[in-house]
Amino acid sequence: MKENIISSEISDVRNRLLHHQLYTEIKTDEDLRTFMSSHIYAVWDFMSLLKALQNSLTCTSTPWVPKGNPDLRYLINEIVLAEETDQDQHGNRMSHYEMYLNAMNAAGVATEKAQDNITKLSQSDHILDEIDSSALASHIKQFLTSTFSIIQRGKDHEIAAAFTYGREDLIPEMFTEILSGLATTQIATDLEPITYYFDRHIELDGDEHGPMAHKMVAMLCGDDPIKWQEAAQVSKEALESRITLFDGILEQIHSPALELA
């Protein structure tokens, strides 16, 4: 199978990420708040990858016309449906980004600064320049730069690979590791909202979105060996960028004086 090209390319870096020290170092309420204050940017740019694919693979403008492959339209729209309008633990409809913000509030994290930063980035016509000139911590800036560079190149198979192998394929195991670490702590914070968020992603991405995303990459790469190689390289880049993000969060946990932005 051509997917073996990607699996082989990312095997080592994926393994390093799934055994990252961060998962066992979130030991206190403040550690959790530090983690969430950086991780919210990864939650946001996940949605940006998703919407970039929807914009490219489906018609999202008027007047409407059928666009592209109907099977690809189905795959991406099904994923968007859950990611953008899922239900929280109380049955309220919201995106996973909004769900994460609620979990941050429950954990005692002030979200205004992150929301202001994200609003400013989202309104910029030159987002890479905006990221570069922002006051965000370097581990966040490099992560966002990696993601939006992939988006701006505009290659559907690369965006799908970053989304699939850097996100959907990884998240169930990664979030399981985080939950396992949290289970060994005495954190006083209300963990129900963030636990629900993690569990929901483990369920959706493992059982539904992961296989759908894999199929999407396979359809976009087809029999083109260059596309498969580019997809493999982008997948590796996305995973390495995540490691750098987690390295930065771990450094902040060990050195609380460091600022996010």
State the DSSP code for 21: G
Residue 175 to residue 75: CA distance in whole angstroms: 23
Exposed (0-12), middle (13-18) or buried (19+): which is 112, by Cβ within 10 Å? exposed
Long-range contacts of 253-256 (CB under 8 A, 24+ apart): 253/22, 253/25, 253/26, 253/31, 253/34, 253/35, 254/25, 256/30, 256/34
pLDDT of residue 260: 58
Find all residues with CB under 8 Å of 236, minimum gap 6, and list them: 9, 10, 13
What pLDDT sits at residue 257?
Answer: 65
Q: Record the tokens describing residue 217, joined without a space.
A: 């990459």
- What is the arithmetic mean of pLDDT over 4-31? 93
- Give yes or no for a contact between 204 and 168, defined as CB atoms under 8 angstroms apart: no
Q: How far apart are CA 116 and CA 114, in angstroms?
A: 5
In the three-class reduction of DSSP (H, G, I as helix; E, B as strand; rest coil), residue 261 is classed as: coil
Sole residue written with tokens 């914070």: 189
pLDDT tens digits, 98-123: 999 999 999 999 999 999 999 999 99
Model pLDDT, residue 137: 96
The token pair that represents 139 in the structure block: 């581990």
User: What is the pTM assigned to this prediction?
Assistant: 0.93
Whether residue 44 has pLDDT greater than 90: yes
Mean pLDDT of 18-47: 94
pLDDT for the residue numbered 234 = 97
pLDDT digits (tens, 9 = 90+) for 120-147: 999 999 999 999 999 999 999 999 999 9
CB-side exposure of 225: number of CA atoms within 13 Å? 0
- Spatial separation of the C-alpha atoms in residues 82 and 58, rounded to whole Å: 17
Q: Where are the alpha helices (DSSP H) in 19-163?
A: 29-57, 70-85, 96-106, 112-122, 127-133, 138-153, 156-163
CA–CA gap between residue 20 and residue 71 (Å, rounded):
36
